[in-house]
Amino acid sequence: MALNQLRDALAAPRAREFAFGNEDFEALRKLVKELTGINLSDQKRELVYGRLARRLRTLGLRTFAEYRDLLSSDGGREIAELCNAITTNLTAFFREGHHFDYLREQVLKPLAAESAATRRVRIWSAGCSTGEEAYSLAMTVIEALPDLRRWDVKILATDLDSDVLERAQRGVYAADRVRALGPQRLSRFFVERRAREELCYEVTPELTALITFKQLNLMHHLPMKGPLNAIFCRNVVIYFDKDTQRELFARVAYLQRPGDLLFLGHSESLFKVSESYTPIGKTVYRRT
């Protein structure tokens, strides 16, 4: 094949299994924004098609029009599958490790050094995905606080996606997911086992005892009471427009006291979003 022909072939749009017109995309984009707050740009058109085409195959549907009809007529059962399909779940143990270092050195160790009568710690992992962030928080707490039995520690881990929450609650990870933890943490916090002849690692009860997993849509009422010492809301609001971010963080701020911390993802910022927080580090914010 000549070079020009090869370029033309690579540039040509691939034939779709299902017709996917602008009306389909706009209707689904509007619904996703209403349900989840996620703002799907035009650049996400192929992503939406690719992920929802799987649902059409699974359901035996022929067109996106049929899928849209189903979304409005099945009593909400497929809505959960839609949300699960659209949300992105990229995570790792101790991802953006400087956040866990900051939590340990600036929050947990100072608390341990105090002689306060109340030894209470509350942390929220918002958008916990398959659980790596929540378990990383639990490991950080255990390593930083001596005699954990004397402490009242609770970590709330929430996500919109019910599928990833189920995996998080199981707490079983393939060997490649835990490789970067190092032998000391691996031996202390995980039990080696085999599933279908594959080596995997299950978190210990010491970690699971600190964490409660719950499904939560951030666009809905936030049921927790607070105050929360730290909130990890990382790589979540990047998918929200500015108005949605402002509304969310106005509600989040009520869950924290002055001095409590909020951690965002590396590409997220509260600039022109919230005046309730002051930046104090790399995507670390203090409640004012």
Supply the residues annotated as catalytic: 51, 159
The two counts, helices (H) then strands (E), for the chain are 13, 10
Beta carbons of 198 and 183 less than 8 angstroms apart? no
Which residue, among 215, 248, 243, has the nearest Cα to 233 in the 3D structure? 248
Pairing of strands 120-126, 190-195: unpaired
Residue 157: phi, psi to the nearest 5?
A: -120, 120
Q: Which residues pair with 195 in a beta bridge?
A: 198
Q: 107-110 long-range contacts, Cβ below 8 Å, gap at least 24?
A: 107/229, 107/230, 107/261, 108/140, 108/141, 108/144, 108/145, 109/144
CA distance 46 to 141: 41
Pairing of strands 284-287, 261-264: antiparallel
> What does the DSSP 8-state code read for residue 171?
T
Tokens of 120: 């209470």
